[in-house]
Structure 1
Amino acid sequence: EEAAAAAEKEAKAKKPASTKEAKKQEELERVKERAKQIDFKVIGQASSTELKEEVKKGATTLEVANAADFEEQGSASIQDGKGTTRISWTGKDGNALTGVTGVTRVFAASATLRAQDDLQVIKGIGPFIEEKLNALGITTYRQIANMTAKLEDEVNEAIEFFPGRVKRDQWVAQAKILLGEDAKLDEKALKQAEELERIAQKAEKIDFATLGVASASEKDDLKAIKGIGPFIEEKLNALGIFTFEQVSKMTPEIEEEVNVAIEFFPGRVKRDEWAKQAKTMHEDKA
């Protein structure tokens, strides 16, 4: 019986993970389809070329079809039918990138090499947001630095991000600074971005096997719950909690986990009866 119970518990733990991964892939596909709505004439396309010959695991030199548009040093992704690997290089010799690191497997000739900066250096961009931007076709600091106010809004909507976050987190200014250009930053806004990134990293501590998995496209207005303001809602979203149904399923233990994760005043989630309020709101939606 103990073995059966353990197996059931393990199966329950695995199911949300696969569901979460499925929702993630669906979200990335939706984002990818919106690329045609983005004005790449303004932000530019990331430099790309093809490998000229097969590359072995651990290779330190890459022969490419055309290295002219690539910087003397930088980072990029190599992509083929099996997936993507990020590499970096420290020099160029004609159409060869030298001082290469990061080649973790064999890539055949004709695999695509595309310039790709580490967008997670920009405060407010976490791993999944970077994946969404890449799916949209945005992979470099230069593309982000070229965004107009209109494009900030369009990208924000395309990646299903919290309204106004791209602008508020000052992605454009941060990207310009990373490129060595002059730009001013609002430090208070940056601290908020850092806080949300920190909270997003705590998602693995939350029992989503009980809460269930949701995505931004299913988002409810959690601010309707008394005790949840705009920034607390953003924190919950950063954690992966988007719906009344998820909040309604919080057990006392999960209430405490969430309270700690969003760095809220001790006991507030339980005291404000978020789960009870959310249950009523979820039932009203049905």
Structure 2
Amino acid sequence: MKKWVSIEDILTELSKKGKRLSRRTFLYYVQLGLLPKGRRKGQPSGGVRFFYPSSTLERLEKILELKERGLRLREIRELLLMEEEEKPSPEAEIFPEIDLLKRCTLCGICGGICPVYEEMDGSPWRVIQIYLEDPGGVDEINTPWICIGCYLCEERCPEGIPLVSFFEFLCRRESQRGKTRIYPQEEWSRLFWTLLMERGRSFDFGAVHAYQVRLRRDGGERKIHLRIPQAEGQKEIPPPSPVKNPRLFRKMLALSGGPSR
């Protein structure tokens, strides 16, 4: 099996072994943290697809086996976490896809396109170089913690470097050491939900811009620009059109346990 595979590939292999699982349930397990997060990759025909480590199939089989034994999902998750904590630490200290990091050409696209670059201690490409020289040298850099996981850097990276996964790895490593950093996430969360309730669709770029305006106070114009290095200059990203019935959407959101106002 390939190193990175799609949901369809995983579910097909699972069905060959006489087990069935819906795509919706698979994504639910990812959301719960039972399965690893996927890596987003742009497609030549347009749009994006998510790919998962090939080891996801083995983990999924274990989850289904534990379910057959009568364990609940919460209990399965706790058991899997305990097993991960008991694994030897030396390998866990090194990013598993370090060979991909070595492909960085220092082109600077990742820093130029990042919507929160100004708040970072160093560009993503710079963090890669420091890490390759000394894995412990990035411990005091805030860049992994500032990353909002929008995947713009990964989509534009000419070498296909999994930057978001790399930053998640660094944050997870520091959290396990008890060095979790706290940033103004409450303000970000509030802005995200406000825009979601206004339009009925998520608008991450709008939230990023409003976040920067309110915390950095560097202007009030609500136009979103991505700093993409290209001949025609900056590319403007318009907000998505709102849903037809925002009021009904807010009611549905409240019933699902989300913010009611």
Please confirm whether the aligned pair reaches a TM-score higher than 0.5, indicating the same fold.
Answer: no
Superposition TM-score tier, normalisation by shorter sequence: under 0.3
Larger RCO of the pair (alpha carbons < 8 Å, separation 6+): 1
- TM-score, length-scaled by structure 2: 0.25
